[in-house]
Amino acid sequence: MGSRPDKITRSPYWNRTGPLPRHIASHKIPIDRISRNAIRVVESLRKANYETYLVGGCVRDLLLGLDPKDFDVATSATPEEVKKVFPRARLIGRRFRIVHVRMGREIIEVSTFRKQVDHGNVSNNGGHESRDGVLVRDNVYGNIDEDAFRRDFTVNALYYDPAKKTVLDFVNGMQDLDSRTLRLIGNPKVRYREDPVRILRAIRLAAKLDFSLEKKTEKAISPGGRSLNAISPARLFDELNKVFMSGTAQQAFALLQKFKLVEVLFPISSDSADLVTAALQSTDRRIAQGKPVTPAFIIAALLWNQYQSQSIAHKNAANPQENPIDIAQTVIKDQQSTIAIPKRHAFFIRDVWHLQTRLERRNPRSIYPLLEHRRFRAAYDFLLLRVRNAEVEPALGQWWTEIQTLGPDEQQDRIRALSSHRKRRRRRPKSETP
């Protein structure tokens, strides 16, 4: 449990000798873009005498003229005190305890002001780090200025007061926002070591916002990349999911390649750059169009060559024992040691890979079952990527494209033609009579 923060009536924010914030009123935050539920949470906590603000990505996006996906609140109230104000709220998290306040269908995330862990006494007041300096628990409560300096990037350390309509800036975040610069607060080497996931966040945000990485922030990425192995596979998947589903996955992946992080995150992935690029482009395009997407599609592309290699090795073996499904599961299991892949995504990847052979063979008896298969569309899209990558003849992709647009009678005619073609290929020449 962390130390108790001060309430607003005693907050050192107003009288401490530390850094004072810039109160910026000349911003362009449209009030109508702010969630009314988020404002209600702020007002309720302030009414209970707690210092409270909107904070982080929502403030950043509002200042950039973007619509925030969610709204975060920072307060002097402890998680337990927040729950007293909102009895139906949920306390979640181990490393970083926060509160989810549900307002209708919207969830407002509320966190307590925290301060940077004292590395000389990390076990004090709920702080703890591993031997490698990675923070595994961070419940050291503090005040708003301390909270600002423990956040990751300057542009994420901006606080908004909806009552006074002012932005509070302790770390020159507004300046970096104006110059479109992503800068870590503090020593980048230390901050990446504390939480290596910040490396992936830096890459995701730089790509998403089209920001330049500040020189020191960028320079420390590659040396810190190996520390990602200290992060749990489940947490790495969660962060990569954000990268792949950001709508700018292609740009983010280019940065992952630049800093040689692909081989850290996907050690069994072999050279399939063109296929992966096509998968990234397809995903970004579908997100822009408002269509459903899944990170499993990109992971399937990343691991495709490994699956192909193992399948070929199996076919050439003297006594092959594994079937394609088993091979797929082996490849996925090998990747799981680095990045956890949820079962639903693992099944998706397995099915998409397995269906490639069936799509290539075009067995007349299997056409209709294939068209009705729940993974057909994903497998078909993957086949088209392979066509673009020159792995498959364009005619095959064209055939499957056309068969989906035909009516029942025309489909039957096309399948009969396929059957006739297969019979002609199998016919053997008659032996001549003496």
Any idea which residues carry the catalytic annotation? Answer: 70, 72, 152
H-run or E-run covering 72? strand 72-75
Q: CA gyration radius for the chain?
A: 27
Cα separation, 118 vs 133, in Å, equals: 11
3-class DSSP assignment, residue 56? coil
What's the length of the chain? 434
H-run or E-run covering 346? helix 343-361
Phi, psi of 68 (to 5 degrees): -65, 145
| Per-residue CA distances from 296 to 50, 240, 283, 316, 409 (Å) | 43, 11, 11, 29, 35
The answer to whether 243 and 200 have CB atoms below 8 angstroms apart is yes
Planar angle of CA 141, 103, 245, nearest 5 degrees: 80
H-run or E-run covering 397? helix 394-403
Spatial neighbors of 261 by CB under 8 A, at least 6 apart, are 199, 203, 221, 222, 225, 228
Give one DSSP letter per residue of 201-267, joined into a string.
HHHHHHHHHTPEEPHHHHHTHHHHGGGGGGS-HHHHHHHHHHHHTSS-HHHHHHHHHHTT-HHHH-T
Residue with tokens 């800036």: 169
Name the pairing type of β-strands 158-161 and 166-169. Answer: antiparallel
Spatial neighbors of 290 by CB under 8 A, at least 6 apart, are none
3-class DSSP assignment, residue 137? strand
Residue 33 CB coordination number (10 Å): 13
Cα separation, 434 vs 429, in Å, equals: 15
3-class DSSP assignment, residue 136? strand
- Enumerate helices (H) and strands (E) in the chain, giving the number of each: 20, 12
Residue 291 CB coordination number (10 Å): 10
